Amino acid sequence: MAEALFRVEALRVELPDMTRKPLFGPVPRLEILKGLDFEIPRGAVLGIVGGSGSGKTTLGRTLVRLMEPTAGRILFDGADITHLPDAAMRPLRQRIQMIFQDPMSSLNPRLTIGRIIAAPLNATSRDPRVAEALGHVGLPAEFVHRYPHELSGGQRQRIGIARAIAMRPDFILADEIVSGLDVSSQAQVLNLLEGLVRDLGLTLAFISHDLSVIRRLCDRVIVMQTGRIVEEAPTEALFEDPQHDYTRELLDAIPTPDPTVRW
């Protein structure tokens, strides 16, 4: 079997707990992630699910090195990137992209769509890559002249996706990217993402609190609770035969759109 794209070993993250900061003396530490081990195989779509405060967003941010781990190792494509300095990290950044939850606050309102997508590209390849990225997300090329406020929520989230894939990354982290959308645009964005993962051979980590969405998109699922992985399984197995009580509790709590199913 080929080497996994991401390998995470005994990952821990601690942060100072400012709510319990004493006037003098050291600030107590709060453990956010309590030793996580997992892999993301090349071309896989990994779902990360859990309630608020379970650490799923912190895990994502640590994975793409937006947050510094306290202990443990992160291997990307075989190389240890756990404490790689910014300069050495930079060439890897284009291979590791992120799509954020709220497209309104992650797109600069003063830039046109064209400039937003082009910003990280180098000057020679800009225009064709921007057009290509817009094509991939099913938006017309004229959108380069528009501003984020002129677009609907679903269109804005597609710009977020276009910006990520314009870099031709190997890996994308998507953190709750459909939770702010109406169901009709939610379905569109998910279908789009599903197609892109397949066509471009992307590896995706998809963070969500919504198990129904995870089931549709992901191959494997990690269930998190208070900073620990309580269950990891192929999607099918997780839904058909959940092993951990917390997974069962999450599944039971989903309101299925069917009044005949007792809740």
CA distance 261 to 263: 6
Of 25-33, 84-92, 97-105, 244-252, the segment contacting other proteins by CB under 8 A is 244-252
124 binds other proteins (CB under 8 A): no
Q: How far is CA 123 from CA 119, 126, 128, in A?
A: 9, 5, 11
3-state helix, strand, coil in the chain (%, to 5): 40, 25, 35
156 burial via Cβ count (<10 Å: 0-12, 13-18, 19+):
buried
**123 vs 183, beta carbon nearer other proteins:** 183
Q: Smallest distance, Å, CB 207 to other proteins? A: 14
122 binds other proteins (CB under 8 A): no
CA distance 127 to 131: 6
Q: Are 59 and 67 in contact (CB under 8 A)?
A: no
Output phi, psi for 122, to 5 deg.
-85, 155
Report the residue from 75, 112, 239, 244 that binds other proteins according to the rule CB under 8 A. Answer: 239
CA dihedral 244, 248, 250, 251 (to 10 degrees): 140
Q: Are 35 and 228 in contact (CB under 8 A)?
A: yes
240 binds other proteins (CB under 8 A): no
Of 32-40, 59-67, 78-86, 250-258, the segment contacting other proteins by CB under 8 A is 250-258
CA distance 62 to 68: 6
Q: Smallest distance, Å, CB 188 to other proteins? A: 4
18 binds other proteins (CB under 8 A): no
* Encoded tokens for 190: 């998910």
Q: Smallest distance, Å, CB 138 to other proteins? A: 11
Site string for other proteins, 186-225 (x = CB under 8 A): xxx-xx-----------------xxxxx-xx---------
250 binds other proteins (CB under 8 A): yes
198 burial via Cβ count (<10 Å: 0-12, 13-18, 19+):
exposed
**86 vs 240, beta carbon nearer other proteins:** 240
105 binds other proteins (CB under 8 A): no
Q: Smallest distance, Å, CB 73 to other proteins? A: 31
* Encoded tokens for 182: 């109406």
CA distance 142 to 155: 13
263 binds other proteins (CB under 8 A): yes
Q: Smallest distance, Å, CB 173 to other proteins? A: 21
161 binds other proteins (CB under 8 A): no
Sites of contact with other proteins (CB under 8 A): 51-52, 153, 182-184, 186-188, 190-191, 209-213, 215-216, 239, 249-261, 263
